Structure 1
């Protein structure tokens, strides 16, 4: 009998290779703190250099996979989450499988034997980090494979997709989103990055009418407003995003995180703000994965029937836990009530 996972996430399956490095490492590869980029040819040696010269943590990464692990950890429920992505057939794929299994996530990996598993170099220096992603196999999800495991989609209640999928597997996202909308499920997505909004607007709009919850941070929301003609004010952009045409049976909700500032939820042109607990700066270790973890907490509580206030509180709790640890990782046991 097929397993039922309340939450199923689609995304780029990456192995995070995380290490604390000197500022010279940033300079050597021409990257800036707080930045996230795709690896170019000049960046390719960094993955081996990290493994050979630094004590590294190998952690299942990629935006949706982070969200999946976060929700699974908070849920304390076996088989709560399923993840759909692509890996190669190499040493890194085994690290990835081990990490996901340890997190309790059920992974449904399409395997590409001739392509390396996607990796992300996470350079950490004085609480700041820079991410360099080599997508490799991660960007190769095929619609035929998704259809072969369609029971995973049929047996869930919420589907979540990262915006990066609009650059590589838009048909998979759209088919999942349309099915969810037409069959009493909830499809949710994250805009993920400013470049997705700017350069993959048309693919994203194919899924937009079927999406009930859209997540993004304030910079992404501002970019959305600028690209779609809503202006650069974040609150106004969120309002207008919530009023865009939709096929969903319930109104569209836009959820905007703003760091230490209030979280916004826009619905039918109205915005509600939710406070964010302050974490003392001396406790903040690494901001990597905070946004992904917020979404994991939010969706976990949404599935359990929580109010928006409760969903935001769960998201804030998970984000606050993650930023006090290295990489997108969690304590042994959640303390969220």
Structure 2
């Protein structure tokens, strides 16, 4: 049976031990960050602090911003961020995380492969020639960041030409944890429209049909600054997030991805749910103090 997953932070949990034990699949983006001026924003009709999908008028912007001084590149996209952070929390061995997604056969694609390798993630991209590599431009003006995402190749993944190949499917079967973060409307898709109570949605998600009866499903939902909700069996537990001075918050865009990465990383030691969530809160707390989904060289997590 092919694995599936849901998000923001709802996933199946097993044990994580070795290379390729964590499998992620999603939309890979090359994050391109650079300081720009007001004229640049005006040229492309951007607001100083916004988050939008690219339109045709924005297409030339990605090459232009890449030519700015002090450009920073990072492997991005929600799922790729999460497995990247998990690998950062784990440190060694390298390539605990496998990532599948689609990129183009272009310069940005080569940079993305390089950045994934630097993050020690085993990225196995499907490359095609129809669309360029997906990108997300972070246009920085002072304390503001205007984000423009162009999914492009990320929308061109071909299951038959990549996932179903024997060598790639072996990596899927090798994994113990699967995470896919592209199903933000999970409750609606499952017919839970009559309730907006997060604890009730978590409870219902936990009781959905399950093929493997040997392992109990764990469901976790994050709620930003509000309590994290988790269920095991019939029990619903609320976990408080870490306190942080609002003046210390730089960028909250990667907080959800960071929580997932931190959570998954604790499975290496087969820690209990409480420790996994504590690691998730720690990782999110680190990331929101920095611009973009970036982190220091090593975590300071006991």
The residue number in structure 2 matching 1:146 is 163
Bigger RCO of structures 1 and 2 (CA < 8 A, at least 6 apart) = 2
Among candidates 133, 138, 141, match of residue 149 of structure 2: 133
| Aligned residue number for residue 327 of structure 1 | 292
State the shift of 1:116 in Å. 0.8
Q: Deviations over 1:36-61 (max 9, x none)?
A: x4322233233234224464311100
Displacement of 1:272: 0.4
Q: Which residue of 1 aligns with 2:125?
A: 109
Partner residue of 2:200 out of 221, 224, 236: 236
Aligned to 1:72: 87
SS of the counterpart of 1:299?
helix
Matched, 1:7 2:26: no
Q: State yes or no: 1:245 paired with 2:245.
A: no
Instruction: Please tell me whether the aligned partners of residues 187 and 193 of structure 2 are also in contact (alpha carbons under 8 angstroms).
Output: no
Instruction: List aligned pairs for 1:164-313, cutoff 5 A.
Output: 191=183, 193-194=184-185, 201=189, 228-249=192-213, 250-313=215-278
2:131–2:156 CA contact under 8 A, matched in 1: no
Rounded Cα–Cα distance in structure 2 between residues aligned with 1:50 and 1:238:
42
CA contact (8 A) 1:14 1:117 kept: yes
1:232 partner SS = coil
- Aligned with residue 73 of structure 2, among 58, 62, 74: 58
Once the two structures are superposed, residues 226-283 of structure 1 have per-residue CA deviations (whole angstroms, 9 ceiling, x without a partner) of x623322333332333233333423433212122222111344532011211122232
Does the 8 A contact of 2:262 with 2:279 survive in 1? Answer: yes
2:14 aligned partner: none
Q: Which runs of 5+ in 2 are unaligned?
A: 1-17
Provide the secondary structure at the position in 2 that maps to 1:329: coil
Q: Does 1:160 align with 2:179?
A: yes
Superposed counterparts of 1:84-99, under 5 Å = 84-99=100-115
For normalisation by structure 1, the TM-score amounts to 0.74
Distance 1:54 1:288, change over 3 A: farther
Unaligned 5+ runs, structure 1: 164-190, 206-226
Task: Give the CA deviation at 1:65.
Answer: 0.8
Q: How many corresponding residue pairs?
A: 279
Q: TM-score, normalised by structure 2?
A: 0.82
Once superposed, what is the RMSD of the aligned Cα atoms?
A: 2.6
Is 1:122 aligned to residue 138 of structure 2?
A: yes
SS at 1:74 equivalent: helix
Secondary structure of 1:228's aligned partner: coil
Change (3 A) 1:4 1:147: farther
What displacement does 1:318 show?
0.9
SS at match of 1:264: strand
Quote how far apart the aligned CAs of 1:12 are.
1.0
